[in-house]
Amino acid sequence: MIILELLGLSLLVGLAGFRVWRIIAVDTILDGPRERVLGGAPVWVQDLVYCAWCLGWWIVGVLGVLVGVGFGLVWWQIGLVWLAGSAITGLLGKLDQF
């Protein structure tokens, strides 16, 4: 049963991470703040923000820890949710580019 729970949490965190990344990097609602923050930023910083694999890793890390602590997971379970969730976020970000 724990495997199904971890898979479910990973899916939830991955989907939520993708949505947060998309709001930050793509959606027009944050065009103004994004332009102010990234306007003078080096290209590598812009690349990190627009990359679902890169920024998604950190977003899912925060979400995974919050969800993991909330559900009483131990450190290795949180790590699995983080890894699987970031893979889901990255894959969705890649699919979103087409």
Domain with 33 in it: 2-96
Q: What is the pLDDT of residue 16?
A: 98
Q: pTM (2 decimals)? A: 0.91
Q: What is the pLDDT of residue 88?
A: 97
Residues in the chain: 98
pLDDT per residue as tens, the chain (98 positions): 589 999 999 999 999 999 999 999 999 999 999 999 998 899 999 999 999 999 999 999 999 999 999 999 999 999 999 999 999 999 999 998 75
Q: In the chain, how many domains are there?
A: 1
CA distances (Å), origin 34, targets 14, 19, 30, 31: 23, 16, 6, 5
Q: What is the pLDDT of residue 97?
A: 79
CA 24 – CA 34 distance, rounded (Å): 7
